[in-house]
Amino acid sequence: MNNATPATATAAKAFALSGLRVAVLVPCYNEEAAISQVIADFRSALPQARIYVYDNNSKDGTQAVAAQAGANVRVERRQGKGNVVRRMFADIEADAYILVDGDATYDAASAPRMLQTLLDEELDMVVGCRVHSQTEAYRPGHVFGNAMLTGFVAKLFGRSFTDILSGYRVFSRRFVKTFPALSAGFETETELTVHALELRMPVTEISTPYGARPEGSVSKLSTYRDGWRILRLILQLYKHERPLAFFSALAGMLALLSMLLAIPVVLDWLATGLVPRFPTAILSTGIMILASLFLVAGFILQTVTRGRQETKRLLYLQIPRWGA
């Protein structure tokens, strides 16, 4: 029988979080108007956490404001959010990591619940799924683009999330220290999602409020340019992680084209015993050979990918789960 009262359960959860080394990671570029609010909100929500602000060549007073607010301020000179995430994950040592944008749109009060979910369910990633009530907080174009890209990832990689582009996430140490961080820009959220799906990590989503930027803060996201970069990354990751399916599709299309070109050649040969369309016959044969090469490349790369995935999984398992 469980005789624990709600107060006892709350105290137990507070004790669990008190023994956890938590790092709040805030990548920033020109967020002078919002960064002090982000730091204050997370310090209030998680007094035991250390807050790190990584400035990415800001042209305003982001660094000074963040330092004055009490954050640990560091600099990453390579431009792009993906580059900042790579540096943060490499530099910071903690048991759990909270990644959040520095624009004060995400709800800091949800962080303890996300952390507790990570611990209670022994997860590697908890994604803050954005719930908004203001059009200016989450523009219709961004909503549509996110839904399209999320559906595309689900189609290519199977099970997915409802908000793959959320910048609010909580990670275990074993996730952070095995994440390759190859992307350079805003497509890093997509890479985080695919990394978790391909290694079949235990993950979940939690709905969190999403608000508008404070006065004077401007979004750095370009709907079309960054959307195209994310879509391109999804295709690249699909090629890298599912090479047999990728190259088989290309081989199938080339084989179909080759057969379509060969039909009139074969019909002429059956009717006359001659091959008057000799260039077409050569082209059809060459395309079919190319299709065969694509298929063989897919099989070879699939074997390489399998070995790479096994290596990543073994590295992941070498890092003990917190509290184990």
Tell me, yes or no, whether 109 lies in a domain. Answer: yes
Specify whether 12 is located in the same domain as 80. yes
Higher pLDDT, 163 or 303: 303
Specify whether 41 is located in the same domain as 154. yes
DSSP 8-class letter at 214: P
- CA–CA distances in Å: residue 321 to residues 13, 24, 113, 173, 271: 18, 19, 19, 8, 72
Tell me, yes or no, whether 73 lies in a domain. Answer: yes
Specify whether 189 is located in the same domain as 201. yes
- CA–CA distances in Å: residue 281 to residues 266, 287, 291, 294: 9, 10, 15, 20
Q: Which of 233-237, 268-272, 275-279 has the lowest mean pLDDT?
A: 233-237
Domain of 131, CATH number, reads 3.90.550.10
Specify whether 65 is located in the same domain as 110. yes
State which of 240, 265, 298 marks the end of a domain.
Answer: 240
State which of 210, 240, 270 marks the end of a domain.
Answer: 240
Specify whether 56 is located in the same domain as 141. yes
What is the distance between the terminal CA atoms of the chain, rounded to a whole angstrom? 25
Which among 177, 41, 162 has a CA at the least distance from the CA of 100?
Answer: 41
Asked if the model's pLDDT at residue 3 lies above 60, the reply is no
User: Following CA atoms 230, 236, 240, 244 in sequence, which dihedral angle do they give, to the nearest 10 degrees?
Assistant: 120
HSE-CB for 125 with a 13 A CA cutoff? 27
Tell me, yes or no, whether 265 lies in a domain. Answer: yes
> What pLDDT score was predicted for residue 159?
67
Strand 96-99, strand 169-172: pairing: antiparallel
> What pLDDT score was predicted for residue 83?
94
Strand 203-210, strand 96-99: pairing: unpaired
Specify whether 54 is located in the same domain as 129. yes
State which of 214, 240, 266 marks the end of a domain.
Answer: 240
Cα distance between residue 83 and residue 98, in whole Å: 17
Report pLDDT digits (tens) over 37-96. 999 999 999 999 999 999 999 999 999 999 999 999 999 999 999 999 999 999 999 999
Above pLDDT 90, what percent of the chain?
54
Q: Domain containing 160: what range? A: 8-240
Cα distance between residue 65 and residue 51, in whole Å: 14
Specify whether 62 is located in the same domain as 49. yes
- Number of domains within the chain: 2
Cα distance between residue 87 and residue 22, in whole Å: 17
Specify whether 104 is located in the same domain as 201. yes
Asked if the model's pLDDT at residue 154 lies above 50, the reply is yes
**Local structure of 204: helix, strand or coil:** strand
Tell me, yes or no, whether 153 lies in a domain. Answer: yes
Tokens 């391109």: give the residue. 232
Amino acid making up residue 170: V
Instruction: Please give the average per-residue pLDDT across 201-208, as a whole number.
Output: 93
Report pLDDT digits (tens) over 91-123. 999 999 999 999 989 999 999 999 999 999 999
Specify whether 250 is located in the same domain as 234. no
Tell me, yes or no, whether 3 lies in a domain. Answer: no
30: left (phi over 0), alpha (psi -120 to 50) or beta: left
Tell me, yes or no, whether 324 lies in a domain. Answer: no
Specify whether 249 is located in the same domain as 220. no
Tell me, yes or no, whether 74 lies in a domain. Answer: yes
Specify whether 261 is located in the same domain as 163. no
Phi, psi of 82 (to 5 degrees): -60, -40
Tell me, yes or no, whether 1 lies in a domain. Answer: no
Specify whether 35 is located in the same domain as 121. yes
Query: Do 146 and 164 contact (CB within 8 A), yes or no?
Result: yes
Instruction: Kindly report the average pLDDT of the chain as a whole number.
Output: 85
